[in-house]
Amino acid sequence: MAESVTIARPYAQAIFRLAREKQSLAEWSGRLHRLAAIAQDPEMGRVIGNPKFSTRQLADLFISLSGEPEGSRDSELASFIALLAENRRFNVLADISAIFESLKNEDQGIKEALITSAFPINKKALTALLGSLETLFGGRLQGRVDVDPSLIGGVRVAVGDRVFDASVRGKLDAMAATLKN
């Protein structure tokens, strides 16, 4: 894991600088997300690992599957895919995409909030929750929800190294600690 992140970081940083310079962060975010999904497909994994396919063939395949309309494909995307093919780095596309998103969010002043809830949260409730948490955490938040029934009820929110625990499990644990002391 750590090794793939180390390999992916320079690619993500280079694409981030290019996208920011060209004011196309959202476009590159979508591209990288699509490319990572393609690379993670099990069938594609067999193709990527097959030595019968040349780097040019792999690059052409990724470009054709990239979701970019034929006439709008730009040279930066083609160059990026060709570089990944040449260096056999399609396996780190998910890490490249994740690092790019982190850089983009940091640049735009958006913090990632990991919200753990006892139950699924619908989009409307998530928007309201994020709105109230933005005041608490002092900035714009983008939320990702994980469901953990062991919380019993409520939510636990982690933004960076700060945690806000409003779960029933958290309150029970706090009461147990108080009673032990």
| Tens of pLDDT, residues 76-130 | 998 999 999 999 999 999 999 999 999 999 899 899 899 999 999 999 999 999 9
Instruction: Mark 128-153 as b/e (b = at least 16 C-beta within 10 Å).
Output: ebbeebeeebeeebebebeeeeebee
Provide CATH code, domain 2-106.
1.10.520.20
Q: Which helix (H) or strand (E) element contains residue 136?
A: helix 123-137
Q: What is the pLDDT of residues 146-165, one digit of tens each?
A: 999 999 999 999 998 899 99
Q: To the nearest whole percent, how much of the chain has pLDDT over 70?
A: 96
Same fold: 2-106 with 110-180: no
Q: Kindly calculate the radius of gyration of the chain based on its CA atoms and give it in whole angstroms.
A: 21
Domain boundaries, the chain: 2-106, 110-180
CB 40 within 8 A of CB 90: no
The residue-averaged pLDDT of 8-17 equals 96
- β-strands 162-165, 155-159 pairing: antiparallel
The dihedral sign for the CA sequence 113, 145, 135, 127: positive
Structure tokens at 65: 């599957």
SS (H, E, C) 52-110: CCCHHHHHHHHHHHCCCCHHHCCHHHHHHHHHHHHCCCHHHHHHHHHHHHHHHHHHCCE
CATH topology of domain 110-180: Glutaredoxin (3.40.30)
**Residue 98 confidence (pLDDT):** 93
Q: What is the pLDDT of residues 139-148, one digit of tens each?
A: 899 999 999 9
The answer, yes or no, to whether residue 72 has pLDDT greater than 60, is no
